[in-house]
């Protein structure tokens, strides 16, 4: 089942050979929409296959597939509009220093993109997921490295995508699929691979990032690696709605058995009565949560070992003890610890490392200085959340604005009075953040994810008949563009 | 003079401390414009200092300084307009799958940027150059690593920039300056450095790129490393205007003693009469070129050794022999070689490596297949140029379109019937290209160079009073933006 280096090479070459068929944007959009239609048609079979491999359950998986199809169509819309091409046209200007010739810039596809699937999203961050959808939308064929947690689903989905391609006379090699750890390394090193997208662990992602950077010709590596997703609850917020925050937190951290990259993994809550009520309601809600099945046994082992190690640290309490549930399941739980323990380097640093699964850490702070001290020690995150009182949220008290300014440098998405789980597919979405949240400044979800798979090229003094239609003065494709410095659409 | 690690740390920390003063875009634009004004005021002194260190001559240096000031003002205009912020606003949409919350995205400065100066542009690609101008425009303080070929000019220019900063109450640390090879390495490794821009050699750039990628927290490294800048002359073009092309080529390859990163270093010219006329006029024009001084003795040694080694290859002729001129100068020259010699790996690969200085290689081809064979062996380039006949340029013959399609994958800028030297500062400019031309997909010249120093952040369900003004519904700053999927400006 594992692909040899030769098989990886064949997949990459087949993908490269499919690229010309993606050059026509109308073909691309038709392909993306057909792919969404066919995935939906095959929904029952796909959900069944994915559930058998991941135990994520039909409700979650049906929703994930719907999201995936929505995403494919959203990228088709983006391609139709064409703003992503970044068309800029400058007519000659002799008054500039130095003079400006006729210059016309737009973006072209990078080439074959390697996509590394995630364990926890067999659809939305795997074969038909955001990396694949955005790469195809950009005009780049893909070779997907399947995740070993759902190889069968990956094959099924790839066959659906290839059927969609065939309907538009695109060679089936446009979506390649390989299995195996070594194949993944071969893939990122292949000379014809021009970029890579990855969703997974820090260790795995960093190894591939390093391989991408060490190539004779380095390539962009857009990896989403890991995130703690801190939450700060102000004293006033805890006083105002401690119970509600505790319940909301329980829902977010246990959602999908805690297997989301945006699970809130560290919560700064005040000492005192408000914080106590938060912890009490969190205790009740987490205590009521059923044991759940993690994606695979390795994850279960890591979770059980991880929570045990954390529980053993000084001053760490477990109002609800996380750990092994039944033979295959795990139970949700959480820890509390004085925030001061996290304010300086030490063995408690384990508590500011991501622990995949249904567990979070509530760090009780004395004052704003302790919040600042802990936040200053955090690595980069996909999200940061603040829970504010109504006065703080309304700007009546300056604390809300201050706190937003303090958490913004830490994350790619900042939430007020919400929970980070749930990543909308939307033009303004940013699912990325400072390292290790991502290895680049880009996003893997949302409209701008397409930007990752393009590079600009400028044509100088090129006669109109030789210009691509995207760059012609009369704008035959009706593209949004910047002409002589002015935006037009 | 060389900065210790501690001194590098102090410069970086001072830069970090200056960042808040750049947060206000109006302050940034005023600073950039004052910097341009003060540089112009100090022009005579700066040109004199630069000429003493680089021997580039007052005419070239005066032009370069004017370009540099134009560039600073151009980035101020870009900041005023605000499209670079990439504002996207999505209002809640419950009909999406999954539902879309209130999401508002824009871009924020990365942090302190390290700038590595070039030898060959003491102004435009050094302390006050495109990397610095675009980083400051983005809101990022800089620490510049001075080039050892012009340390005094670097100090002078930095002091002018700091004076401009002081006029707007920006701490002088906003433009740091360090000297020394080791200091350059320390700089790219410093934890507070968030990105780097580089213009220089493949060896030096790759070493810094590798260091940036190997950091515990990797950072974006935008390096412009080297380029051969191929030129393809069609048979019909040579027949139509072989002499003119030869003369134009001579002017471009000897401009500034061949010390431009966009110097045409490889020319594919046809065998036969048209190509012969091209070579003849090139011979006459290059033969008439005065000897010139290179930037430093190391470069002169490299040039002399490089051309000697190339001249010794089988089937290589030197109609005008390049090499040592006087004690400090070099003479321009060029080689001819059958294109077939470059079509397969071998010792002639040296001819498709950049040789810094006034030399080029004219490869004579038999047919289109030989052009394709040679192009397929080239590394990435900043530019690729085609010289076409009038019928080809008019699209009457398909050859022009075919050839453009063939060279586009090789370069970041494609020229028709022009010469690559001269890089306009313009919105549509793209001064970048596939590796090793650049280490990223970005540009170091032109309006979009600012994109390198920003990262997006999205705010979810954030009350209006807490939002930055850039993201408020009523658009108090009048920014171009995308709202609910629709572009507005």
Structure tokens at A130: 């955001």
Residue A327's pLDDT is what? 84
Strand order of the sheet with strand B323-324?
A: B292-293, B329-331, B323-324
**Looking at chain A from residue 392 to 431, which residues have their Cβ under 8 Å from any Cβ of chain B?**
393-395, 400-401, 404, 408, 411-418, 422, 424-430
Rounded Cα distance between B61 and B44, Å, is: 10
Confidence of residue B4 (pLDDT cuts 50, 70, 90): very high
* B488 in any annotated domain: no
Residue B44's pLDDT is what? 98
Structure tokens at B459: 């705010």
Tell me the residue range of the domain where B453 lies.
5-225+440-482
Asked whether residue B211 falls in the same domain as residue B67, the answer is yes
Chain A residue numbers touching B86 (CB-CB < 8 A): 448
* B434 in any annotated domain: no
Instruction: Check which CATH number belongs to the domain holding A247 and give it.
Output: 3.40.309.10
Mean predicted confidence (pLDDT) in B142-158: 98
Contact A466 B413 (CB under 8 A): no
Asked whether residue B214 falls in the same domain as residue B344, the answer is no
Rounded Cα distance between A137 and A450, Å, is: 7
**Residue B472 contacts A, CB cutoff 8 Å:** no
Cis status, amide bond into B436, omega within 30 of 0: yes
**Residue A82 contacts B, CB cutoff 8 Å:** no
Domain end call among B375, B400, B416: B416
Query: Which residue of chain A is at minimal alpha-carbon distance from B75?
Result: A485
* B487 in any annotated domain: no
Confidence of residue A109 (pLDDT cuts 50, 70, 90): very high
pLDDT at B252 over 80: yes
Asked whether residue B220 falls in the same domain as residue B280, the answer is no
Mean predicted confidence (pLDDT) in B57-74: 97
Asked whether residue A386 falls in the same domain as residue A284, the answer is yes
User: How close A257 gets to chain B, by Cα (Å)?
Assistant: 19
Contact B428 A96 (CB under 8 A): no
% pLDDT > 90, chain A: 98
Query: Which residue of chain A is at minimal alpha-carbon distance from B422?
Result: A98
Please name the member of A101, A408, A411 whose beta carbon is closest to the beta carbon of B424: A101
Backbone angles phi, psi at A425, to 5 degrees: -90, 100
Residue A328's pLDDT is what? 87
**Residue B389 contacts A, CB cutoff 8 Å:** no
**Residue B89 contacts A, CB cutoff 8 Å:** yes
Structure tokens at B151: 């340390």
Asked whether residue B209 falls in the same domain as residue B245, the answer is no
pLDDT at A88 over 80: yes
Chain B residue numbers touching A460 (CB-CB < 8 A): 413-416, 418
Asked whether residue B377 falls in the same domain as residue B361, the answer is yes
Asked whether residue B220 falls in the same domain as residue B284, the answer is no
Residue B9's pLDDT is what? 98
Confidence of residue A13 (pLDDT cuts 50, 70, 90): very high
Asked whether residue B390 falls in the same domain as residue B347, the answer is yes
Q: Which of B393, B398, B466, B480 to mutate to test the interface with A (most CBs of A within 10 A)?
A: B466
* B433 in any annotated domain: no
Query: Which residue of chain A is at minimal alpha-carbon distance from B416?
Result: A462
Please name the member of A90, A416, A439 whose beta carbon is closest to the beta carbon of B426: A90
Instruction: Check which CATH number belongs to the domain holding A91 and give it.
Output: 3.40.605.10
Mean predicted confidence (pLDDT) in A286-303: 94
**Residue B100 contacts A, CB cutoff 8 Å:** yes
Residue A10's pLDDT is what? 98
Contact A458 B83 (CB under 8 A): no
Residue B1's pLDDT is what? 75
Mean predicted confidence (pLDDT) in B393-402: 96
Enumerate the active-site residues of A: 224, 261
How many beta carbons lie within 10 A of that of residue A20, not counting itself? 12
Please name the member of A218, A457, A466 whose beta carbon is closest to the beta carbon of B412: A457
Rounded Cα distance between B26 and B6, Å, is: 33
Residue A85's pLDDT is what? 98
* A57 in any annotated domain: yes
* A277 in any annotated domain: yes
**Residue B287 contacts A, CB cutoff 8 Å:** no
Contact B380 A217 (CB under 8 A): yes
Contact A395 B110 (CB under 8 A): no
Please name the member of B100, B416, B426 whose beta carbon is closest to the beta carbon of A462: B416
Contact A456 B441 (CB under 8 A): yes
CB A198 within 8 A of CB A205: yes
Mean predicted confidence (pLDDT) in A381-403: 97
Asked whether residue A199 falls in the same domain as residue A281, the answer is no
User: How close B456 gets to chain A, by Cα (Å)?
Assistant: 7
Confidence of residue A325 (pLDDT cuts 50, 70, 90): confident
Domain end call among B358, B384, B416: B416
Chain B residue numbers touching A93 (CB-CB < 8 A): 426
**Looking at chain B from residue 189 to 218, which residues have their Cβ under 8 Å from any Cβ of chain A?**
209-210, 213-214, 217-218
Contact A466 B427 (CB under 8 A): no
Asked whether residue A276 falls in the same domain as residue A216, the answer is no
Instruction: Report the number of distinct structural domains present in chain B.
Output: 2
pLDDT at A154 over 90: yes
Rounded Cα distance between A217 and B206, Å, is: 10
Mean predicted confidence (pLDDT) in B367-386: 98
User: How close B464 gets to chain A, by Cα (Å)?
Assistant: 8
- The catalytic position among B224, B235, B392, B470 is B224
pLDDT tens digits, residue range B284-321?
999 999 999 999 999 999 999 999 999 999 999 999 99
pLDDT tens digits, residue range A200-209?
999 999 999 9
Q: Which residues have C-beta within 8 Å of that of residue A219, sequence separation ≥ 6?
A: A188, A193, A194, A195, A196, A212
**Residue B20 contacts A, CB cutoff 8 Å:** no
How many beta carbons lie within 10 A of that of residue A255, not counting itself? 18
Q: Which DSSP symbol is given to B291?
A: P
pLDDT tens digits, residue range A428-464?
999 999 999 999 999 999 999 999 999 999 999 999 9
pLDDT at A14 over 80: yes
% pLDDT > 70, chain A: 100
Q: Which DSSP symbol is given to B98?
A: S
Pairing of strands A266-270, A230-233: parallel
Residue B306's pLDDT is what? 97
Contact A430 B105 (CB under 8 A): yes
pLDDT at B365 over 80: yes
* A342 in any annotated domain: yes
Please name the member of B424, B427, B487 whose beta carbon is closest to the beta carbon of A83: B487
Chain A residue numbers touching B77 (CB-CB < 8 A): 485
**Looking at chain B from residue 213 to 272, which residues have their Cβ under 8 Å from any Cβ of chain A?**
213-214, 217-218, 220
Instruction: Tell me which H or E stretch contains A318.
Output: strand A317-320
Asked whether residue B319 falls in the same domain as residue B400, the answer is yes
Asked whether residue A272 falls in the same domain as residue A167, the answer is no
CB A168 within 8 A of CB A34: yes
Domain end call among B416, B450, B471: B416
**Residue B150 contacts A, CB cutoff 8 Å:** no
Contact B456 A404 (CB under 8 A): no
Mean predicted confidence (pLDDT) in B205-212: 98
Contact A461 B418 (CB under 8 A): yes
Rounded Cα distance between B82 and A264, Å, is: 34
- The catalytic position among B261, B354, B355, B392 is B261
Contact A426 B90 (CB under 8 A): yes
* B16 in any annotated domain: yes
Alpha helices in A19-175 (DSSP H): 25-41, 43-54, 58-81, 130-138, 151-167
């Amino acid at each position: 089942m594992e692909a040899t280096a030769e098989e990886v090479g064949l997949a990459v070459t087949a993908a490269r050979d499919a690229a010309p068929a993606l050059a026509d944007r109308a073909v691309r959009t038709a392909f993306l929409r057909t792919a969404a239609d066919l995935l939906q048609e095959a929904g029952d079979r796909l959900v069944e296959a994915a559930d058998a491999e991941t135990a994520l359950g039909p409700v979650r998986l049906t929703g994930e597939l719907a999201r995936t199809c929505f995403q494919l169509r959203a990228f088709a819309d983006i391609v139709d509009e064409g703003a992503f091409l970044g068309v800029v046209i400058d007519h000659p200007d002799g008054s500039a220093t130095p003079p400006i010739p006729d210059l016309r810039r737009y973006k072209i596809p990078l080439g074959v993109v390697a996509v590394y699937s995630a364990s926890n999203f067999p659809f939305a961050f795997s074969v038909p997921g955001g990396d694949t959808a955005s790469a195809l939308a950009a005009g780049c064929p893909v070779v997907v490295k399947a995740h070993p947690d759902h190889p069968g689903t990956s094959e099924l989905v790839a066959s659906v995508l290839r059927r969609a391609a065939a309907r538009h006379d695109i060679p089936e090699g446009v979506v390649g699929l390989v299995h195996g750890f070594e194949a993944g390394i071969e893939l990122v090193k292949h000379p014809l691979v021009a970029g890579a997208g990855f969703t997974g662990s820090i260790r795995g992602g960093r190894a591939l990032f390093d391989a991408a950077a060490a190539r004779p010709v380095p390539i962009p590596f857009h990896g989403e690696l890991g995130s703690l997703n801190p939450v700060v609850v102000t004293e006033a917020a805890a006083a105002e709605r401690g119970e509600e925050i505790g319940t909301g937190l329980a829902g977010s951290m246990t959602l999908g058995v805690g297997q989301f990259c945006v699970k809130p993994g560290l919560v700064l809550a005040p000492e005192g009565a408000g914080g106590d009520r938060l912890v009490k309601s969190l205790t009740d809600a987490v205590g009521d949560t059923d044991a759940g099945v993690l994606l695979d046994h390795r994850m279960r082992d890591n979770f059980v070992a991880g929570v045990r190690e954390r529980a053993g640290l000084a001053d760490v309490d477990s109002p609800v003890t996380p750990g092994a549930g039944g033979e295959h399941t795990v139970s949700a739980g959480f820890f509390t610890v004085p925030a001061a323990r996290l304010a300086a380097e030490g063995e408690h640093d384990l508590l500011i490392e991501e622990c995949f699964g249904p567990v979070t850490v509530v760090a009780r702070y004395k004052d704003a200085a302790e919040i600042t001290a802990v936040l200053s020690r955090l690595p980069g995150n996909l999200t940061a959340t603040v829970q504010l009182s109504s006065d703080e949220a309304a700007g009546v008290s300056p604390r809300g604005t201050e706190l937003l300014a303090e958490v913004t440098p830490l994350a790619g998405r900042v939430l007020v009075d919400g929970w980070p789980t749930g990543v909308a597919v939307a033009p303004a979405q940013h699912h990325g953040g400072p390292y290790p949240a991502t290895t680049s400044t880009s996003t893997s979800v949302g409209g701008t994810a397409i930007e990752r798979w393009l590079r600009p090229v400028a044509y100088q003094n090129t006669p109109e008949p030789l210009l691509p239609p995207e760059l012609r003065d009369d704008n035959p494709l009706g593209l949004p563009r910047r002409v002589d410095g002015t935006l037009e659409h």
